[in-house]
């Protein structure tokens, strides 16, 4: 883990912190806060709020988490704010309709997994990491408190948000709880006395509400920094698990390496800027060379901070082996119980795909097979209604199934 540099000159801190940033409101305020921090020895309080609507993180999330890590490395305290309460409301940011709310139990269960993965990137020392939940203060607010909060902001200002104004023009309903969401998120900054708030570009409006509310509550307004939404491996839309164009932060090193080798050439500079610490002149030098070598360098740089104990040579060797049609030796194994077989001693291929954890249901497994997304022992498997015999399943060395290019499972008959 890198050394914490508490007394780095302000200009040098700014050079680190501004890299990759889209919106900075405002640089003058950030400079002044950094100067005050150096003078007083008091670290800045840097907030990132996250509604744990899903339990898993990908490299798109890592862009903002890396910025938080940079603040930590400069000696400032970052606050991971888990929006367990706001997740029960549903945030429509950047969407044509509100996101479905979760139960408080679902939100808190997701939060545990979320925090475990955040710690792959963030420092854990208590002087630079604080973990909070907005249920701490929002659950305690009564109706009178809510009315007092709504008095701090006008409907006209709320409706300035792009997605709200668009829905209003199109006649799409907007529920009252959606109008309250930006105020609720903004009040988190008041409760935490945040100096800086980070977020994706889709969170700019909400974070600026926090800045305005702090001023209304007599606090020094927070600096707002937004970072771009990382484009996914398909090169068209933001990285998202639902679009299957993502690389998970907790993926195996070989899977991370393989995923980064798929990044479209046109996105390499963006990935290098947002996911590595290489100086810009070095990035330009790498990009001037062969694209394959640029991809290799990117993969190794990302593995260096995301999986520091991993062997990049082994990850690359596995990638090359699989790319040539080979099957790795170190595969995850799943035992298939004998009672999965029918009276004839057979089991459907769709069921085996589900047991292997490659798809959640028989229907999804059949669709995978129909789309030519499954291989058996390295060969394409195309019979969506196919069956596997006991003898085939009991083959010495196991029955190897493969989804896509690099998801292998060895099935062993019990």
What is the predicted pLDDT for the residue at 96? 45
Q: Bridge partners of 192?
A: none
CA distance 387 to 141: 59
CA distance 105 to 84: 9
CB atoms within 10 A of CB 138: 20
Q: What does the CA dihedral 328, 334, 335, 337 come to, rounded to 10 degrees?
A: -130
Of 69, 78, 9, nearest in space to 37 by CA: 9
What is the predicted pLDDT for the residue at 321? 80
What would the two tokens of residue 221 be? Answer: 């307004």
Spatial CB neighbours of 302, under 8 Å, sequence gap ≥ 6: 59, 256, 260, 275, 276
What is the predicted pLDDT for the residue at 94? 46
Per-residue pLDDT of the chain (414 residues), as tens digits, is 678 888 899 999 999 999 999 999 999 999 999 999 999 999 999 999 887 766 678 999 999 999 999 999 999 999 999 888 877 765 555 444 445 666 767 777 777 888 888 989 999 999 999 999 988 999 899 999 999 999 999 888 888 888 888 888 888 888 888 888 889 899 999 999 999 999 999 899 999 999 999 999 999 999 999 999 899 998 888 888 777 788 989 888 988 999 999 999 999 999 999 999 999 999 999 999 999 999 999 999 999 999 998 999 999 888 888 777 777 777 888 999 988 999 888 999 999 999 999 999 999 999 999 988 898 877 889 999 999 998 888 877 788 898 877 788 989 988
What is the predicted pLDDT for the residue at 178? 83
Q: What are phi and psi of 288, to 5 degrees?
A: -75, -15
CA distances from 248 to 101, 183, 239, 241, 251 (A): 24, 31, 10, 8, 5
Whether residue 18 is annotated as binding a ligand: the answer is no
Spatial CB neighbours of 317, under 8 Å, sequence gap ≥ 6: none
253-260 and 291-306 are packed helices; what angle lies between their axes, rounded to 10 degrees? 150
What would the two tokens of residue 344 be? Answer: 């004839």
Of 252, 250, 271, 263, nearest in space to 310 by CA: 252
- Which domains occur in the chain, in start order? 10-227 (3.40.50.620), 253-323 (no CATH), 333-413 (3.10.290.10)
pLDDT digits (tens, 9 = 90+) for 56-86: 789 999 999 999 999 999 999 999 998 888 7
Element holding 295 (H helix, E strand): helix 291-306
CB atoms within 10 A of CB 169: 8
What is the predicted pLDDT for the residue at 14? 96
What would the two tokens of residue 397 be? Answer: 């060395």
């Amino acid at each position: 883990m890198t050394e914490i540099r508490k007394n780095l000159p302000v200009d040098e801190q700014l050079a680190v912190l501004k890299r990759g940033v889209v919106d900075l409101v405002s640089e003058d305020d950030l400079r002044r806060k950094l100067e005050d921090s150096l003078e007083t020895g008091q670290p800045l309080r840097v907030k990132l709020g996250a509604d744990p609507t899903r339990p898993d993180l990908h490299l798109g999330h890592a862009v903002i988490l890396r910025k938080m890590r940079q603040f930590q490395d400069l000696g400032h305290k970052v606050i991971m704010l888990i929006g367990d309460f706001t997740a029960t409301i549903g945030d429509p940011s950047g969407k044509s309709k509100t996101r479905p709310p979760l139960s408080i139990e679902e939100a808190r269960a997701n939060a545990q997994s979320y925090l475990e993965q955040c710690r792959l990137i963030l420092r854990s020392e208590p002087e630079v990491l604080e973990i909070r939940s907005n249920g701490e203060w929002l659950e305690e607010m009564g109706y009178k408190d809510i009315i007092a909060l709504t008095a701090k902001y006008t409907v006209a200002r709320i409706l300035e948000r792009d997605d709200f104004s668009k829905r209003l023009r199109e006649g799409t309903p907007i529920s009252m709880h959606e109008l309250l969401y930006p105020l609720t998120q903004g009040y988190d900054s008041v409760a935490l006395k945040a100096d800086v708030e980070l977020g994706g570009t889709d969170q700019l409006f909400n974070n600026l509400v926090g800045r305005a509310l702090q001023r209304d509550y007599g606090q020094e307004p927070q600096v707002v920094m937004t970072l771009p939404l990382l484009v996914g491996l398909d090169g068209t839309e933001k990285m998202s698990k639902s679009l299957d164009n993502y690389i998970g932060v907790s993926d195996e090193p070989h899977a991370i390496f393989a995923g980064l080798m798929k990044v479209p050439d046109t996105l390499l500079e963006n990935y290098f800027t947002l996911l590595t610490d290489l100086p810009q002149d070095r990035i330009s030098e790498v990009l001037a060379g062969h694209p394959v070598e640029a991809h290799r360098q990117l993969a190794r740089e990302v593995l260096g901070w995301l999986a520091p104990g991993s062997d990049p040579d082994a990850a690359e060797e596995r990638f090359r082996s699989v790319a040539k049609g080979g099957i790795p030796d170190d595969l995850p194994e799943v035992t298939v119980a004998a009672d999965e077989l029918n009276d004839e001693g057979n089991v459907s291929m769709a069921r085996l795909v589900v047991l292997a954890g490659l798809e959640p249901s028989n229907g999804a497994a059949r669709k995978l097979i129909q789309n030519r997304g499954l291989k058996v022992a390295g060969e394409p498997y195309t019979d969506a209604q196919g069956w596997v015999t006991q003898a085939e399943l009991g083959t010495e060395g196991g029955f190897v199934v493969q989804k896509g290019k690099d998801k292998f499972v060895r099935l062993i008959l019990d």
